[in-house]
């Protein structure tokens, strides 16, 4: 008899997350995946502004993060050799080194720039809503990395920086 009394409680507990998932606005998150990305020096492989989360690895390069003035988001970065304030804005910081691993979780309009070249690849996963420009190596139609945007098939990174692309379920 006790088991039968628990069934409505369990069903009610399961219904709360399902209602939250069905709430408008929660289903519009998109994704960006970069595999083996490279771009010429001075050109970011990824330049994005996102509300969401980003996790990545830079073989050798630089990460710039601006979480904004009213943010409590603290980027977690390991493996860097040097770190400092960025000229991007008063709230931006940069990290540079070999095998730099990072995660920026719970961003509310964070800006990220990820640089890497010379056969030192960038791998990145981003989930949320925002905009992004991606770039690969010029004169390398294949082999300079690939990307998948919003769960579409992987394609080669463009030889010049792309136009502004949308990270969202409708993008």
Q: Is the pLDDT of residue 63 over 80?
A: yes
pLDDT band at 18 (very low <50, low <70, confident <90, very high): very low
Residue 19 scores a pLDDT above 70: no
Give pLDDT tens digits for 103-119.
999 999 999 999 997 66
- Give the span between the Cα atoms of 92 and 36, in whole angstroms: 25
pLDDT band at 57 (very low <50, low <70, confident <90, very high): very high
Question: Taking a C-beta distance cutoff of 8 angstroms, is the pair 73, 107 a contact?
Answer: yes
What's the pLDDT at 69? 82
Q: How confident is the model at residue 71 (pLDDT cuts 50, 70, 90)?
A: confident
Task: List residues bridging with 125 in a β-sheet.
Answer: 33, 55
Task: Please indicate whether residue 55 or residue 70 has the higher confidence score (pLDDT).
Answer: 55
Which tokens is 169 given? 């379920």
The predicted model scores a pTM of 0.81
Encoding tokens for residue 132? 């992004």
Express each pLDDT in 110-147 by its tens digit: 999 999 976 678 999 999 999 999 999 887 666 679 99
Residue showing tokens 């039968």: 4
Q: What is the pLDDT of residue 111?
A: 97
The DSSP symbol for 157 reads P
- Residue 34, pLDDT above cutoff 60: yes
The contacts of residue 47 (CB under 8 Å, 6+ apart) are 112, 113, 114, 132, 133, 134, 161
**Where along the chain do its domains lie?**
27-167
């Amino acid at each position: 008899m006790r088991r039968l009394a628990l069934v409505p409680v369990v069903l009610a507990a399961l219904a709360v997350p399902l209602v939250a998932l069905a709430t408008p606005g929660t289903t519009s998150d998109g994704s960006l995946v970069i595999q083996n990305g490279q771009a010429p020096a001075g050109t970011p492989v990824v330049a994005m502004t996102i509300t969401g989360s980003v996790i990545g690895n830079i073989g050798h390069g630089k990460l710039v993060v601006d979480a904004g003035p009213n943010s409590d988001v603290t980027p977690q970065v390991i493996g860097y050799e040097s770190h400092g304030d960025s000229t991007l804005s008063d709230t931006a910081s940069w990290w540079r080194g070999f095998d730099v691993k990072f995660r920026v979780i719970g961003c509310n309009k964070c800006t990220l720039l990820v640089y890497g070249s010379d056969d030192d690849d960038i791998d990145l996963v981003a989930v949320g809503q925002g905009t992004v420009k991606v770039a690969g190596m010029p004169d390398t139609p294949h082999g300079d990395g690939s990307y998948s945007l919003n769960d579409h098939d992987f394609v080669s990174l463009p030889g010049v920086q792309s136009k502004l692309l949308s990270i969202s379920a409708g993008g």
